[in-house]
Amino acid sequence: MWRWKRFTGNRLRFKHKRLFCNWFLKTEGETLNIAIVDDEKIIREQTNNFIHRHYPDCALRSYAAGEDLLAAHMQFDIIFLDIKMEGVNGIETARELRRQQADTVLIFITGMKEYVFEAFDVSAFHYLLKPIDEGKLLEVLDRAVREVEKRKDGRHRQLFVRTKGRSLTIDQSDILYIESKAKKAEIHTRKETIEIYASMNELEEQLGESFYRCHRGYLVNMAYIAEYGADSISLAGGETVYLTKKKHSEFVKTYMWYLQNGGVSCV
């Protein structure tokens, strides 16, 4: 009886989530694109059915291998990715995805808890343990949908700067990192590097919590972090910035909070 009542409560909550998904799709005017990557056919079909049952308007694609996902060259809002697969495993697939699609929300699927920390190293939003529980999957997916919305909204936040010969606005979501150069600062974006006269403290205040001061000479956009070590952070695209060792613990806590709570603009 207790189990039946608990399931009934989840069903009521799922209906609310379904309404949320439909509202999201209508207000954004775009289809939510989701990929499922798992070498077990039964897991792919089960995950697909869970999602379609409660998010019928979402576009779903399934892949049996990480190589197939990467070869498709498609942009996805959310990807459910198995970690232990034949060939290229989920962690390796995620590292390559971060170079191609830094903004994608990654949710790992695994049967082994020891892989969880590796998942966070490649900026996973969350993870699910096998066997997959429908209620837990939809709870995580609901949060992921809100995260997609935040990231899309974040693309419209801009930074106004003046250079020697021009004034311009830069989308904050296009900024990879900022590097201090004496009295100047170099803003490294996805397209170009822009040199301006500004202090790092001033820029840190303007950019807010999506950016982290990992070193006195660097501000990094946490949305583009691919992985990190004891004294460095690797970004999507291959760039590496310094991480002050004394700030390592603070950085890890800040970054974990960022991944789990969606930050304030984009991840």
Question: Could you list the residue range(s) of the whole structural domain that residue 93 is in?
Answer: 2-154
Same domain (yes/no): 192, 255:
yes
Tens of pLDDT, residues 44-62:
999 999 999 989 999 999 9
> Phi and psi for 6 in degrees, rounded to 5?
-65, -40
In a domain, 94, yes or no: yes
Same domain (yes/no): 202, 242:
yes
Distance of CA 129 to the CA centre of its chain: 19
Q: Global pTM?
A: 0.56
Same domain (yes/no): 72, 195:
no
pLDDT value of residue 212:
95
User: Any idea what the CATH number is for the domain that residue 182 is in?
Assistant: 2.40.50.1020
In a domain, 267, yes or no: no
Judging by DSSP bridges, how do beta strands 232-235 and 225-228 pair with one another?
Answer: antiparallel
> Phi and psi for 236 in degrees, rounded to 5?
-60, 130
- State the pLDDT confidence band at 37, using cuts at 50, 70 and 90: very high
- State the pLDDT confidence band at 11, using cuts at 50, 70 and 90: very low
Same domain (yes/no): 199, 119:
no
Spatial distance between the Cα atoms of 126 and 94, rounded to a whole number of angstroms: 13
pLDDT value of residue 231:
95
Spatial distance between the Cα atoms of 48 and 133, rounded to a whole number of angstroms: 13
**Of 21 and 119, which is predicted with more confidence?**
119
Same domain (yes/no): 237, 223:
yes
Weakest mean pLDDT among 49-63, 203-217, 250-264: 250-264
